[in-house]
Each structure stands twice: as structure tokens, then as C-alpha cells.
Chain A
Amino acid sequence: MRTIVYLFRFFRVVSPLPALVVWTFGAIVAGACAIVVVAPGRTAGALAPLLVLQMFAASSGFAVPGRRGHYDLLLTRTGGRVSMALAHWVSSIAPGVAGWLIVCSVEALTTGTSSIATASGTCAAVALVSTIPWAATIALPRFSGGIGWLLMLTISAITLSSGNDGSLPRAGGSDGFVAGASAFLVYPLAVVGRHLSSLELMVVSPALALAIVSMTAACGWVRRATFPLEAAQ
């Protein structure tokens, strides 16, 4: 228990996020809350910037500060590398998740129910943007996962806009299971605010399974990883 407390204390001091990202979360949450109060029907739109920023916040990167020696104090204190990785992940996503919960609370206070901010689609999108970018960036420089996702989104949008209707396929739509699952993976914001049907839940489940697999792989990587000092190589 003392080790877990120390892990979170360490990442509170040596935050995986720059202060600017935390301040930006504050501004976005304030804006989202204002939109929810003024126009509760636009809650899904208000959550979109929060989720995009969360994707960048989760892309915090573990290996680079590790190779700079920033985590030496932690690496030589506990051998539990998986708990170290999970504490890093929680510390990376905490501001975004806290912001989402604040929006949920404001929506509940304003409308008497929190139907959009806590819809199953929103929960799935939050889960996806909080996991895969962290796992993808574990050995890469900060924000790599977010940048890669934006690149993938742009390429998908360009490719799909050359089709008939010029719009992204929607999860559970007529493009079929694979297209729907791919669309959710590339553009999870499409399902924000939606209460997913059983069929749509099946469509989003491969991406969520991928999130679990990637998190497991990332934790395994941290467990095996070695951190030579950049300056000594």
C-alpha cells in the first residue's frame, strides 16, 4: 500500500503532463460546462474538444523521461514495474477523466439527468481515447500517439471523402461490421452521446478489446524495459 501511495505521490510531483495541458483542460471543461448549461442538447459537441485533448494527454510517453533519468528515484525504489506503469497511466488520464466527470455532474444538475455525458457511446469513446494513445506512446516521445491518431483520422477522412457521400461511416451503420469497428477506432467521437444498441456495442467491442490488449502489451513492455541514459549512449 505504501508503494502505491508513493507511486502516485511521485507522478504528482513529476507529472507526465505539462502544466499547459492541465490548464487547457480547465479552460475546455469550463467552456463545456457553459455550453451544457446554456444548450444541454449540445453536450456531445461540448465533449469533443475534451476527448481530443485527452487523446494527447494520454500520449504522455514513459520511455523518454525514463531515459533522461527523471524516473531513476522511482525505478530504484520499487521493482513493481507494472504498478509503476499503471500509476503513470492513471496520472496521465486523470485530468481528462476528472473534466469529463465534472461535465457529467453539471449536465445532471442542469437537466436532472446525465443522459449524454454518461451515455454508453460516450463511455466507450472516453475509454478508447484514454488507453490506446497511452499504450501506443509508451516507448515514443510525448504526444506521438495523439499525432498519429490525427494523421490516421486525416488520411481516413481524405480517403472516404472521395466516396459517394463524403462522410465518415458511422458505427453500426450499413457499411458493415468491419467498417463500423474501424470507424469507431479511427473516430471514436462519432459515438459520443449515443446510447449504443446491442449491435452497436458489438461493433465497438473490437476496438475496446484492442485497447485492453494494447494496455497489457504496454505494461509488459515497461516490465521488461531497460533505461540507458541518453547521455551515456
Chain B
Amino acid sequence: MQIDYLLGLHDHAPAGGGPWTSTPTIRGDDFWALGALPPEAPHEAIWMGDFNLEPDSPEYEAMVGPKSRLYGRVQYADRFADAWVAAGHDEADSVTYLADETFPAMRLDYCFVSAGLAERVRSAHVDKDAAGSDHQPVWVDIDL
């Protein structure tokens, strides 16, 4: 439900634009825009965070595409790629939440990039040593 909402916002981005659009003046008064042009709202996006889901879930599939028998994950232009996978790793081969007395080790934290940005991902790693939280930081190096 939350992923659907976010994907809806993503699809709406070209029509919605940034925080303000069109002419910078209202009745000749430009103190709204402060002389600037409307800010950009690129359609391409990077989504990072704790998604509380795992790669075998329908939410992951909604983000990065279904797993086809012949072609693996099909990356649609209006959807995302998993930067971890774009960097050469296997989607199931990562842990960002270490096992504790209640839960097993899980991959919950991700960096998704618009499909068009996937080829710019150079590398990705999980900082296994960080002890500051119950999750581990996910690092991605991207050519931007």
C-alpha cells in the first residue's frame, strides 16, 4: 500500500513538477520566485532507506520488476533498479539487519535508482562494522 502510494507519486512527478511552477511573477510581483526560474523536478529519482521488505516480496517486485524465467528482473523505464544488483551483487546476498534474539538476519535497507541510472552505479557495499544501530549502513557509489 505504501509502495503503491510512492510509485503513484513517482508517476505523477512530471505532471506535478517542483514546489512551484510556471511564471515567476504574480501580477508583476516577483517576490515569490525571487527572480529565479521554476526549480526542476527530474523524473529520475533515487530512493534510499529502510523498506522493511525482502527481495522475495511483492513490494520488491513492484519496485524493480518481476523475475522472468528467461530474462531475470525486467527493468521498466518508469521503475527502479536495485543499486546493489547494478553493482554486481546478487539480490539475496546481503544483510543489513543482523540477527538478534527475536529476528533472523535480513536485508531490509536498499538504494533503488531509476532504471535509467542503473548503468551509472559503480559499486555498493554494506558497512558490516558499524555498531551504532540495529541496522547497517548501505553505501553506493554512483557517477553523477
Q: Do A and B come together as binding partners?
A: no
Interface set of B (CB-CB < 8 Å, partner A): none
Interface set of A (CB-CB < 8 Å, partner B): none
